[in-house]
Structure 1
Amino acid sequence: MEDLEKIHNTIDIIAEDPRINVSKINDYTFNIVIEGELMDSFEKLGEIQSKLEESCSDEYSLKTIYGDGQDAKLILEKN
C-alpha cells in the first residue's frame, strides 16, 4: 500500500501543473489531459510516464492508453 501512496503523491505533484488535468477514476486508473500544442503534449506525456514509472516499484506496472494525442488513460496494474 505504501507504493500506491507514493504513486498517488507523484500524481498529485504532476496535477499541480496548470496545463495538466488529472481525474481519478479509481485508485488504479487516471485520466490525464494536457492543454497546449499537440507536440508539447506528447513530450509532456512522456515526462509524466517516466515520473510514474520511477514511482512504481516491482509491485505495480503502468499501462498507457492513448487518446487523441493530448489525453491518455493511465492504468496501474498490480504485478
Structure 2
Amino acid sequence: MQIAIELPNDFVGMQTEQTIANEMRLAYALALFKAGRVSLAKAAEVADLDIYGFMALCKEERLEVIDTSRDELLHEMQLASRPGA
C-alpha cells in the first residue's frame, strides 16, 4: 500500500524521497511497537529491517523490546531448571 502526504517543498529539497520514505517507515514502526499495536516481528517488517536490526533501532531509541518483569523472568528460569523441563 502506498500513502501520500504533503510536506513543505523546502523540507523535501533537503533530502531524497527515498530517505524521507525510509525515515517515515522507521518512525511509524517504532510508534506502532511502542503503543503495543504490533509485535516486534511485525514492526521489523513495517520498518523493512530484520528483527535484529529493529531491536538495535529500539535500543538506540531506548525502547524496551522485552516486556518481562524481574519476578516473571526468575519464575521462568526456575521452571526451566527443574528436572525434566
After TM superposition, is the score higher than 0.5? no
TM-score, L = length of structure 2:
0.29
Q: Which has the higher helix share?
A: 2
Q: Which has the higher strand share?
A: 1
TM-score, L = length of structure 1:
0.31
